[in-house]
Structures are given as C-alpha cells and as structure tokens.
Structure 1
Amino acid sequence: MLSSFISPLYVHAQSIESASIKGEQIEVLIDPTHQLTVFDILNEEVFDQNNLQWEKSISRTPSYGFSPHTYWFRFALPAQAHERLLELDYALLDNISFYRLKKGKIVETILTGDQYNFSERPIKHRAFLFPLPKTDQEQTILLKIRSTSAVQFSLTVWPNNTFFEREQNFLIEHGLYYGVVLVMSLYNLFLFFRVKDNVYVYYVIYVSIFAINQLTLSGFAFQFLWPNVPTWNEKSLAVLSPIALVCALLFVNAFLKVKINYPKIYKFTSLLIIVSLIATAASIVYPYSMMIPYVASLAIVISSTILTVSYYVMFNRRYKYDVYFSAAWSALLIGVAILSMNKLGILPRNTFTESAAQIGSGIEVILLSFALAERFYDAMNRRLVAEKESLLIKEELIFTQKKQNQELESRVNSRTK
C-alpha cells in the first residue's frame, strides 16, 4: 500500500541523451505551515488527517514566483544502467532537501541550497547537481524547496559525459558575454584617464555591477567570488542592484548633461538617486525577501525614467549618439522586463526568458560604448571647430591690429614730413 501511495508520475529517460523533466511529469504539494517532514510525506495517515493531496504541476517548468510557502516535488526515474546527474538549474534557491527513495524507503538524503557554504555541495558546480547511481529498480525523487527568491527551476537528468560536454558550450557563451563587458569596461576606463570625464567612470561601475549581478543569478559569483559567505550571496542582489541604479542615473545625468539642459528632470533623477541609496542601506539591514520586491519596483521605475528621458532628449537634440543611447536602454529594459515577468511567474522559465536580461545587457553595453565613442568624437570635432574659429578670429584680430598699426604709422610719417 505504501509503495502505491508514493508512486509518482514517471519520467521516461533515454539511455544516452539527457531527459528534461517537464512540469506535467512532476507532482507538487504546497506546505504553507512549513511543518511537514519527509516522514509526514511518506505517511498516509498524515495526508488523511490534514487533507493533503499531490497535484500535477500546472506549467511545463515549475515556477511559483516569490512565495513564502514550502514546496514539495516528486517524480519517478526508471532503472538506469549508468550513473547520471540530476541538475536543478536555478542557483538562488535557499534550502533544498533531496531524498532518493527505493520501494518507499529513503536511501539517500542531501541538504543543499545557497544558504549552505559552496564547499558543502555534493558536486562543486554553480547549479545544484545530485548524483544518481546506476540501479536496476525504479527510484522516486522527493525535493523539498523553500526560498526567499523566486521558486522556479528546471530539472534535467544527464549522462555524466553529456552534461560536461554541454557545460563547455555554456561556459563559452557566458565567457563571450563577460569578455565583452570586460573589454568595454577597460576601454572606457582608458578613455576616462585620457579625457578626465566622470561619465566614463559611471559607465564602468554600472556595467561592472550589472555583470556581477548576472554572475550571481547564474551561480558563478557564489562559486568563485564568495563561496563561503552564503549570507552575502543572499543579500548581494538586493544590495548591489540599487548601487547599479545610482550609477546608471549618474551616468545618464552626465551623458545627457541633464543638470544644465533639463533642471526639472535633474531634480527628479536626484530624488531617485537618494531613494536608491536608502534602498541600498535598507537591503543591508532587512531580509532579502522583504527588500527584493521594493528593489525590483525601483528598478522598473528608474529604467522607465531613463528610457523616457533618453527618448525625450533624442527627439529634441537629434544627435547621433543619443540614438545609440536610447536604443541601448531599450534593449536592456526589454530584457529586464522579460526576466522580471519570468521571476513573477507570468512568463514560462526557458533559456530565452532566463537569458533575456543578459542578452539585453550585452546589446546595451556595446551600444553605450558606441554612444560614448560618438559623444567623444563629437566633442573632439566641436573642440576642433571651436579652436579653428578661435584661430580665425585671432588671425582677423592680428590682421586688423596690423592694419591699424600700418595706418597709424602712415599718419605719423605724413605729419613728420
């Protein structure tokens, strides 16, 4: 009876290729009280007493947005002749309890999540990997997840060699993105030392913090930057994001010369800078779960403001670099909007929605560099034109002065004769 009670939906994994575990293959149990244990889950009497019931996942990829509840997931895996890996690919989940069952009995338990030091993971990887030994019997997997971040993930069963082959492609793709960010940052830092314009510093700090946030979302930051500081790993997004927003606003003010040309807009952007600094301080003190909705809302307001201001200035001034500037922020805002709707559970979780912000950011970094370069050359041309005009005026003054001296000398000579 017990074995039939825990018998979940069955995942058909091929013998060679990876098998994605779709939402319809997973059963879900929501625990608002956070009181259920794995022994309660395996006990029919507890289910009957509390009117508990497993339900099929409503989406192809489990995604519940920011939720205060504890979630239990279960699915079955067939017998397998080779060792495999179960990948849970969302790096920000706080607490994950992994239970592997055979014939209704727990044979392996793994506790992990980003609340644990990285060194405690069974496999040292940015995502959560669980080894699946070869077996001639069907096995059931139970996952208990509780997190202050968005509760969403994809599950894939991989042959070991296939997983690491796929991982190489993943690293190349991300390496290209971070390589572009690094090159553009160094290039604009060089320009700062050359022209001493703070706009380049604001740009470099902004794109650097945004890149660190992307490292955090993908799990690389916890793996390589702060593997033994899970508390900071949890707070880093909420703390660093407002700082990035401050630098973005400072960059916009400097790039578009908002203070000089649009004083009313400058007052509003200055207010947003103050609010962002307050959000940064609050994110250090208060829990991530409390602050991240406010930070996300602030990011939407500031991104929309920057986009509106950039288009307003573009249509008023019609400089070429303003077009690059507006297009850059459009790309980022679209990417961030798609990612936000993904985290809120509005859009499904897939490769595109997960990478949207990074794609938009990559386009933005390149276009903003074009805008800065165009602005630099425009300033150089204006300076050359101004110097040329100044030189012409100076030559005219010299010519006039010379002519006046000649006339004066001629008059003096005529009087002395």
Structure 2
Amino acid sequence: MIWHVLKKLAFLPFVWLLASPAFLRAESAPPFMLMDHLEYWEDKGGKVTLDELPHDTNNWKVNTGSLNFGFTRSAFWFRFELPPHLVNRETLILLFGYSIIDDVRLFMPNPDRAGYTVLKIGRNYPIAGRTVQTQDLALEIPLSHQLPGRTFYLRMQTQGSAQFPMRLMTFHEYFRYAYSSSLVYRLFMGSMLIMILYNLIFFLVTRLISYLIYVVFITCSTLFVMSTYGLAFLYIWPLAPEFNKISIPFFLGLSNMTLSIFNVVSLRRILRKKLTRNVLYFNATFGLLVTLSCFTIPYALSVRLATAQTMFTAILLPVIYVNLCREKYRPAYFYLLSIGSLALGAVVFGMKAFGFLPHNIWTEGSAMIASASQITLLTFALADQYRAIQKQNESMQKEMIEMQRENIRLLDQKVADKTRDVRVILSSIQQGIFTISGQPPRIDDEFSGHLESMFPEQTIAGRDPVEFLSAFSQLSGDEWDQIRSVIVVCLESHRFNFEINDALFPKQIIRQVQGQAKRILQVEWSPVLWSDESVGKILVALR
C-alpha cells in the first residue's frame, strides 16, 4: 500500500508537466460525445457473449437519451465506429463519466481482421490493471487499432445505477480534462481535510462530544464522495476492489447514522421532543444496519437501501429544523441553511441513481457540491452554537460569582452574629470558661469575663494551660506533666483518644493563694469536635 502511494507521488511531477499550460495549449480535437452516436442492446439475462449478439439492426436501439437506465440487473451492449476526424491522429481515450461501473469491456477489432482485443476496466478490477491509471474509468485506443469503418463493441454491467455517459477524446484533450477536474478534486479534499482538523482541534479544546461526532460524520461523508468519484479507489484502497464495491453504501449508511446522532447531541431542544428524538435514533439504527448489511446482502440491494435512506434523511431533517425555527431556536436557522444544500444534492443524486434525471455535469457533481456546502455551513453553525454556549456560561459564571459573594456576605453576617452571641454569653456566665487549642497547647483569646474576676492577678490569653492552672494548685509537678501530655495527645486527634484519657484530667483543684482561704474548684473538660470527629479544641469550665 505504501509503495503504491509512493509510486503515485513519484508520478505527480510527470503529470504536472503534461498538464502544464504549454501542454494544455497544444492543438487537439474537441471531445466527441460518443453516447450520441451509438446503438445499444439490452441483455436482460446478462449472459450473452460477443458471438451471440443479434445482427439484425431492428434489435439494436439508437440512443437518443442520456444512457441512464436506473437500477437494473441487465447487461448492455453498445456498438459504434470511430469518427473520421479523430482516426489516426493520436492515441484516443474512451472516457466514462461515471466512475462506479462494475464491469466495462471494450472489444477492439484487430488490424489483421482476426478477432478482437478485449480491454477490461471497472470496480471489479484493481487499479494496477488499468491502461489509464486515474480516478476516471478510461480506456486507451492506440493508433494501431484505429481502423475506420470497423465496429467497436462495448459491454457494461453494474449492480448499482446503470449510468453510462461516455466521451471519446484525444490524449491531449483528456489530460486537459484531467487537469481541470483534478483541481476541483484537490480543492474538495483539501477543504474537507481542513474541516476535519478544525473540528478535531475544537473537540480537543472544548471536549464537546458533538465535535467528535461531527468529525466522524465529515470523514464518512468525504470517503463517500471520494468513493463516488473513484478517488478513494485510486488513493486509499487501490488493492481492495472487493471493498471498493461496497464502499458507497457502507459510508453512506455511516454518514446517515452519524448525522442523525449529531443532531440529537448538538441540538439540545431535540432531547425534549420524544417523537423527534426516537425518529432520529431509528434513522441512525437503520443507517448502522445498512452499513453492516453491505457485507451480507447483494450490493444492488444495499445501495438501494442506502440511497433511499439518504433521500429520507434529506427530507426528515429540514422538517425538524423548520419546526425548531418556529420555536425561535437560534441554532436551527443555521442547521436549516446547511441541510438545504444537502437535501437538494441528495434528492438530485437519488433521482439520478434511479434514472429520473439525466447524467450531466450538475447531476454528477451534486454529491460533491452538496457535501462540501453542508459541511462548511454546519461548521459555521457549530461555531455559532459554541459562541452562544460560551456567552451562556459566562452569564452563569457571573451569576454564580454574585451568588457566592452574597453567600459569603450572609455567612460573615451569621458568624459575626454568633460571635457576638458567644461573647455575650461569656461575659455574663458565672463560670470560668476558656478553650485550649494548637500545638503546643495555648489558651485561646476568647474566654469568659468571670474567669478574669477569678484570677485578676494573672494573664490568661495565650498562656500554657498547665502553667496557668498549676500556678494556684497543690498538684505535684509530675501530675501536671502527665496532664500536659494528655492534652497534647488529645488535640487534633480522634475523639477516641480523649474518651480513653478522660479519667486522667483532674476534676477538682484546690486553689490556695497566700493570705486567702483554700477553695475547691470543680473542673470540667469537654472536647470541641470538628466534622471529621477530631478534637479541635478542649473546653475547660471552672466553678
């Protein structure tokens, strides 16, 4: 595969040289519309050989139309003679304007009048076997076989839509045509690649799943269009003719599936409409079934199903968008604009495939034009939707910031009120109350007013609690060291430590101050717990 691509790239400079303006300006005869100068005979069984063809002129029909027979299992035989003004000038190219014909066989009369030389081309044969290796179906008629007055025969058969537009042109004229068409194809593929990368980058930045689904949809749509024009067979899977046979319904089914899912995900209002949502899910499921069925059912049936579903999708989506537009839903306007081009292209493509429209430059290019227009417009629609989401998020963020500020203000007010209440209680309660916190333990700044009246001669806030209590107690130094250790262990640890060491806290202290009578102080030790059941402070009450 890689070697094949490298060979193609190596051949590009030669093609560019041949397609240069100097080469294109070379004198050449204009294309000869062969389909207007031939006769055809329909082989409904598809088994007649060259020797078994009827010779009676009444059995052959003179073509007066566009050679579009729609979906049929018949094989078609054509006979023609080379026009005199093209004979023996240069190599001739027989170009077929429809790149997805399964089997084309050209029977060229030999110069010695002994039989025919058979050239084969089509989707049933690999690219390597073609005499003209381009995305077009084209056969080379060399000078040696350009015999005036001799009859050439063509046999064509396909499981898809039987469309057989053909032109006869000189080698120079063909390269002029190939040069102009290649510019269009390169522009299309380049623009689709840009759209894929653009939306992929947006997905990586925003992480919005709608962009990822849209990238898959663009990829499937691009591969479908490339398959329709023979580009995928030439550049991506040239050695896989079996897959190339089913590539059109395969990617068409995937495109319909991803487009339906994309609409459900990107248009949030659809989620509120149960019927619309279920119809899109059904269409997506049917698209998946069409894709999987390509490997099991005949191509003729799968391509009919895929084409019919595409036409159904092209009608369904505008109806949904119009209803959303009636509800003044802004994204629906952009989606309606984008789907309009797809709907028109899909209807034209389907009617051409079923034989209701002739094969010309507009009907043949409908798939490419519709796909490029829709993808471009949908990309703009997604960008506008993202901008609207950003504005909505910014508005919500501002509201949340204002709410947070208001909540903080209310919380500060509540804290201030509670603090004031606590201070009132501490100033009026007839007990000596203080709290211990931190490592090493210290008495907090908030304590009761009665505690100051009990110990007017001492500084309280910020002192070591053991040092403060031992200053007027008869307990020994070892006992206070043990109490200090218990306080250190209990603070900032689980309440279980406080409960098992509760007995070590002194419940009574005999206060003895020089010149005063002894007083017995009752001491209560209580833990102040945080939300994780840890002891944040120890409350001490003396009375």
Matched, 1:96 2:104: yes
1:194-246 CA distance string (max 9 Å, x none)? 11111111111111111101111111111121222211111111222212211
Name the aligned partner's letter for residue 247 of structure 1.
Answer: T
Name the aligned partner's letter for residue 58 of structure 1.
Answer: T
Whole-Å separation in 2 of the counterparts to 1:36 and 1:413: 110
1:296-319 CA distance string (max 9 Å, x none)? 222222332222212222321431
Whole-Å separation in 2 of the counterparts to 1:363 and 1:377: 21
In structure 1, the residue matched to 2:93 is 85
In structure 2, the residue matched to 1:346 is 356
- Report the more deviating stretch, 63-72 or 127-136: 127-136
Whole-Å separation in 2 of the counterparts to 1:34 and 1:264: 46
In structure 2, the residue matched to 1:288 is 299
Whole-Å separation in 1 of the counterparts to 2:310 and 2:147: 51
Question: What is the correspondence of 1:299-310 to structure 2 with a 5 Å cutoff?
Answer: 299-310=310-321
In structure 2, the residue matched to 1:260 is 271
Whole-Å separation in 1 of the counterparts to 2:284 and 2:137: 37
Q: Is the Cα contact below 8 Å between 2:40 and 2:78 reproduced in 1?
A: yes
In structure 1, the residue matched to 2:373 is 363
Q: Is the Cα contact below 8 Å between 1:258 and 1:265 reproduced in 2?
A: no
In structure 2, the residue matched to 1:35 is 47
Over 3 Å counting, the alpha-carbon distance change for 1:403 and 1:33 in structure 2 is closer
2:123 maps to which of 110, 114, 118: 114
Deviation at 1:395, TM superposition (A): 2.2
Higher helix share: 1
In structure 2, the residue matched to 1:165 is 176
1:265-308 CA distance string (max 9 Å, x none)? 21222222222222222221111012221222222223322222
Deviation at 1:86, TM superposition (A): 1.4
In structure 1, the residue matched to 2:493 is none
Deviation at 1:408, TM superposition (A): 7.2
Whole-Å separation in 2 of the counterparts to 1:127 and 1:102: 25
Q: Give the alignment's TM-score, normalised by structure 2.
A: 0.68
Q: Which has the larger radius of gyration?
A: 2
Whole-Å separation in 1 of the counterparts to 2:125 and 2:422: 97
Whole-Å separation in 1 of the counterparts to 2:346 and 2:239: 29
Matched, 1:20 2:29: no
- Amino-acid identity (%): 19
Whole-Å separation in 1 of the counterparts to 2:240 and 2:337: 38
SS class of match (2:42): strand
Deviation at 1:89, TM superposition (A): 2.3
Name the aligned partner's letter for residue 309 of structure 1.
Answer: I
Whole-Å separation in 1 of the counterparts to 2:44 and 2:422: 106
SS class of match (2:327): helix
Name the aligned partner's letter for residue 183 of structure 1.
Answer: I
In structure 2, the residue matched to 1:65 is 70
Whole-Å separation in 1 of the counterparts to 2:90 and 2:285: 57
Whole-Å separation in 2 of the counterparts to 1:384 and 1:251: 25
SS class of match (1:92): coil
Whole-Å separation in 2 of the counterparts to 1:358 and 1:136: 39
Q: Is the Cα contact below 8 Å between 1:332 and 1:360 reproduced in 2?
A: yes
Question: What is the correspondence of 1:96-245 to structure 2 with a 5 Å cutoff?
Answer: 96-101=104-109, 106-134=115-143, 135=146, 137-245=148-256
Deviation at 1:258, TM superposition (A): 5.0
Structure with more contact order per residue of length (Cα contacts < 8 Å, sep ≥ 6): 1
Deviation at 1:388, TM superposition (A): 0.6
Whole-Å separation in 1 of the counterparts to 2:172 and 2:308: 42
Whole-Å separation in 1 of the counterparts to 2:131 and 2:110: 20
Q: Is the Cα contact below 8 Å between 1:216 and 1:222 reproduced in 2?
A: yes
Over 3 Å counting, the alpha-carbon distance change for 1:332 and 1:206 in structure 2 is same
Question: What is the correspondence of 1:305-320 to structure 2 with a 5 Å cutoff?
Answer: 305-319=316-330
- Report the more deviating stretch, 264-273 or 103-112: 103-112
Q: Is the Cα contact below 8 Å between 1:93 and 1:113 reproduced in 2?
A: yes
SS class of match (2:94): strand
Q: Give the alignment's TM-score, normalised by structure 1.
A: 0.87
1:296-353 CA distance string (max 9 Å, x none)? 222222332222212222321431x321111111111101111111121111111111
1:131-178 CA distance string (max 9 Å, x none)? 223347344321111110111132222221222122122111111111
Whole-Å separation in 2 of the counterparts to 1:86 and 1:211: 28
Unaligned runs of 5+ in 2: 1-26, 429-543
Whole-Å separation in 2 of the counterparts to 1:97 and 1:167: 22
Whole-Å separation in 2 of the counterparts to 1:105 and 1:337: 48
Deviation at 1:128, TM superposition (A): 2.0
Over 3 Å counting, the alpha-carbon distance change for 1:72 and 1:105 in structure 2 is farther
Whole-Å separation in 1 of the counterparts to 2:137 and 2:226: 15
1:336-375 CA distance string (max 9 Å, x none)? 1111111211111111111112111111111111111111
- Report the more deviating stretch, 251-260 or 171-180: 251-260
In structure 1, the residue matched to 2:439 is none
Q: Is the Cα contact below 8 Å between 2:101 and 2:157 reproduced in 1?
A: yes
Whole-Å separation in 1 of the counterparts to 2:422 and 2:264: 60
Whole-Å separation in 2 of the counterparts to 1:54 and 1:102: 23
Over 3 Å counting, the alpha-carbon distance change for 1:136 and 1:54 in structure 2 is closer
Q: Is the Cα contact below 8 Å between 1:18 and 1:157 reproduced in 2?
A: no
Name the aligned partner's letter for residue 188 of structure 1.
Answer: N
Whole-Å separation in 2 of the counterparts to 1:27 and 1:67: 19
Over 3 Å counting, the alpha-carbon distance change for 1:272 and 1:83 in structure 2 is closer
Deviation at 1:403, TM superposition (A): 5.2
Whole-Å separation in 1 of the counterparts to 2:79 and 2:338: 43
Deviation at 1:400, TM superposition (A): 4.2
Name the aligned partner's letter for residue 63 of structure 2.
Answer: S
Q: Is the Cα contact below 8 Å between 1:81 and 1:136 reproduced in 2?
A: no
Over 3 Å counting, the alpha-carbon distance change for 1:310 and 1:402 in structure 2 is same
The alignment yields a C-alpha RMSD, in angstroms, of: 2.5
Deviation at 1:409, TM superposition (A): 7.2
Q: Is the Cα contact below 8 Å between 2:163 and 2:359 reproduced in 1?
A: yes
Q: Is the Cα contact below 8 Å between 2:93 and 2:171 reproduced in 1?
A: yes
Q: Is the Cα contact below 8 Å between 2:237 and 2:244 reproduced in 1?
A: yes
- Report the more deviating stretch, 100-109 or 149-158: 100-109
